């Protein structure tokens, strides 16, 4: 540009173009162009690029690449494969570079372009992401639910062991409680937990649980095109943000609940951020979202998967490949099942008969040993081999109590030990443990004594044990004191008195 300026100033000052070309050592054509344009015009192509070696083969290349649209993404033509086929099958004599340049330019022309979207307040987008975490010392994959309010960029994140329908609904419920309001509409992808089927006209047949959830909160649901994450690009970007900022380094927590409390705190801290292109914080813009959202209903939705089953001969109920125990009194009966994210509840008619922590493995058996104690009391010979009791960690005083009971009462002692365990059907382990320790200290080895001491502890009254009920205990004779015995001691006949 400096030379451009000097040449134009010289010619404007009276120097001819011939003289300027000689003075500045440039061609007269360059001087003429400098005088025609005030700034360099750049190179201008006047004719299309001719590719005499490639042009005859372009229809063949286009046919191959169009056919690739119906092929799996990883089995499509690359530039190298196109070049090899043209050379081997079609007699192509050109180089690899012109093939690579042509395909690169073709892909660039075919890339999708997008329309910038405006997001009015009161609407949301939802999605799930994945990340590795360490919960209770076990490294595992966490599926985290993300709800984003695009107008304010406020978010809510909650982690689960699996991205099932119950987790989808439970995540929404906690998000609504976090914000204190319900969005007018939410955009989703076509996850099978939400959409059972896409009908030919494009409408969605919703899953049963998700349909009930939408009806409860009166939310308008919208869905992106299959495989088009840009239809809900805000929440897609937020999933990556949460993974990079909340999951690095690898999170370590004692439980899922502790992890989720920490995630909620991170969402609150983020509300103080001012994002690029904005003059207000996320929290300040969130207020406009909350004004446009609807209030929460009186009661939250019951986020559970409902099923039915029948109790087997081993008092087990199967749900999603796993077996859960129920009390033996309900054997061979029809039951209902409500599966929450962290709990499985089993009931018979109008009564809840069992609660278990939900198992996310496959083909596992989840026992509650207390369910089998009434049956073990009848079939006492199965006590040592009972699978429900394997791995049941009880305080060491229980093992001492069983050993003493069996030593003093043999077979009946084992049955009384099971009766002691059955007190857990009504009382807490801590109270029963204290009663067992007290019974061992007093030497009152029996079910009645333990039960009496337990009731006295719960009712806050002193124990009054009647040892006549225990004929197997060693007897001690305590005679009544007579005054004559003391008279003999005073007379000096201490040896006879002894």
* Measured CA distances, 268 to 154, 157, 288 (Å): 9, 11, 17
Average pLDDT over residues 187-205: 91
Say if CB 167 and CB 296 are below 8 A apart: no
Residue 177: predicted pLDDT: 96
Q: Does the pLDDT value for residue 493 go beyond 60?
A: no
Average pLDDT over residues 280-307: 94
Say if CB 85 and CB 67 are below 8 A apart: no
Residues 19-73 have pLDDT tens digits of 988 998 999 988 898 888 888 887 777 778 788 899 999 999 999 999 999 999 8
- In this prediction, residue 474 has a pLDDT band, given cuts at 50, 70 and 90, of low
Residue 487: predicted pLDDT: 67
Residue 488: predicted pLDDT: 67
Average pLDDT over residues 233-242: 92
Q: Express the helix, strand and coil content of the chain in percent, nearest 5 each.
A: 45, 15, 35
Which among 147, 143, 166 is positioned nearest to 243, based on CA atoms?
143
Whose structure tokens read 């199965």? Answer: 382
Q: List, in sequence order, the alpha helices (H) in 303-446.
A: 373-378, 396-409, 411-422, 429-442
Residues 259-271 have pLDDT tens digits of 999 999 999 999 9
Residue 497: predicted pLDDT: 46
| Rounded to 5°, angle at Cα 111 from 108 and 114 | 135
Distinct helix (H) and strand (E) counts, the chain: 18, 15
Residues 208-226 have pLDDT tens digits of 999 999 999 999 999 988 8
Distance CA 107, CA 206 (A): 37
Q: Which residue has the higher pLDDT, 173 or 2?
A: 173
Which among 41, 7, 243, 272 is positioned nearest to 141, based on CA atoms?
243
**Cβ atoms within 10 Å, residue 261:** 11
**Cβ atoms within 10 Å, residue 148:** 29
Residue 464: predicted pLDDT: 76
Distance CA 157, CA 395 (A): 40
Average pLDDT over residues 418-432: 94
Cis peptide before 249 (omega within 30 of 0): yes
Distance CA 282, CA 268 (A): 10
Q: Does the pLDDT value for residue 374 go beyond 90?
A: yes
- In this prediction, residue 473 has a pLDDT band, given cuts at 50, 70 and 90, of low
Lowest mean pLDDT among 79-88, 231-240, 426-435, 469-478: 469-478
Average pLDDT over residues 357-367: 94
């Amino acid at each position: 540009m400096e030379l451009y300026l000097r040449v134009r100033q010289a010619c404007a000052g009276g120097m001819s173009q011939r003289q300027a070309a000689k003075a500045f050592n440039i061609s007269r054509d360059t001087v003429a162009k400098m005088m025609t344009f005030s700034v360099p015009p750049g190179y201008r192509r006047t004719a299309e690029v001719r590719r005499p070696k490639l042009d005859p083969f372009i229809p063949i290349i286009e046919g191959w690449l169009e056919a690739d649209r119906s092929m799996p993404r990883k089995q499509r033509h690359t530039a190298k494969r196109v070049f090899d086929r043209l050379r081997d099958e079609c007699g192509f004599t050109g180089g690899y570079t012109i093939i690579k340049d042509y395909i690169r330019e073709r892909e660039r022309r075919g890339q999708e372009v997008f329309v910038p979207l405006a997001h009015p307040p009161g609407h949301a987008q939802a999605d799930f992401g994945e990340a590795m975490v360490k919960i209770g010392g076990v490294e595992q994959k966490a599926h985290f639910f993300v709800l984003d309010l695009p107008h304010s960029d406020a978010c809510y994140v909650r982690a689960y062991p699996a991205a099932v329908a119950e987790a989808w609904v439970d995540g929404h419920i906690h998000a609504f409680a976090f914000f204190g309001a319900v969005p007018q509409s939410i955009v989703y992808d076509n996850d099978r937990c939400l959409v059972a089927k896409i009908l030919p006209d494009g409408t969605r047949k919703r899953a049963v649980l998700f349909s009930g959830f939408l009806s409860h909160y009166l939310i308008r649901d919208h869905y992106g095109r299959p495989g088009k994450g840009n239809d809900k690009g805000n929440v897609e970007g937020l999933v990556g943000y949460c993974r990079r900022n909340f999951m690095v380094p690898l999170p370590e927590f004692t439980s899922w609940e502790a992890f989720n409390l920490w995630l909620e705190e991170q969402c609150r801290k983020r509300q103080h951020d001012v994002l690029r292109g904005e003059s207000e914080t996320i929290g300040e813009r969130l207020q406009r979202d909350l004004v446009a959202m609807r209030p929460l209903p009186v009661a939250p939705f019951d986020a559970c998967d409902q099923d039915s089953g029948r109790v087997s001969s081993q008092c087990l109920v199967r749900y999603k490949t796993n077996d859960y125990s129920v009390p033996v009194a309900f054997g061979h009966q029809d039951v209902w099942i409500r599966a929450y994210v962290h709990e499985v509840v089993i009931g018979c008619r109008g009564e809840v008969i069992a609660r278990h922590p939900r198992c996310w493995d496959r083909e596992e058996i989840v026992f509650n040993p207390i369910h089998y104690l009434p049956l073990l009391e009848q079939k006492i010979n199965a006590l040592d081999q009972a699978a429900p009791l394997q791995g049941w960690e009880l305080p060491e005083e229980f093992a001492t109590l069983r050993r003493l009971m069996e030593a003093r009462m043999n077979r009946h002692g084992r049955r009384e030990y099971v009766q002691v365990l059955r007190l857990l059907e009504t009382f807490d382990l801590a109270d029963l443990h204290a009663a067992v320790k007290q019974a061992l200290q007093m030497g009152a080895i029996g079910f009645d004594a333990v039960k009496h001491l337990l009731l006295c502890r719960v009712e806050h009254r002193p124990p009054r044990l009647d040892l006549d009920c225990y004929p197997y205990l060693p007897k001690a004779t305590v005679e009544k004191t007579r005054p004559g015995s003391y008279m003999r001691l005073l007379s000096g006949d201490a040896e006879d008195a002894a």
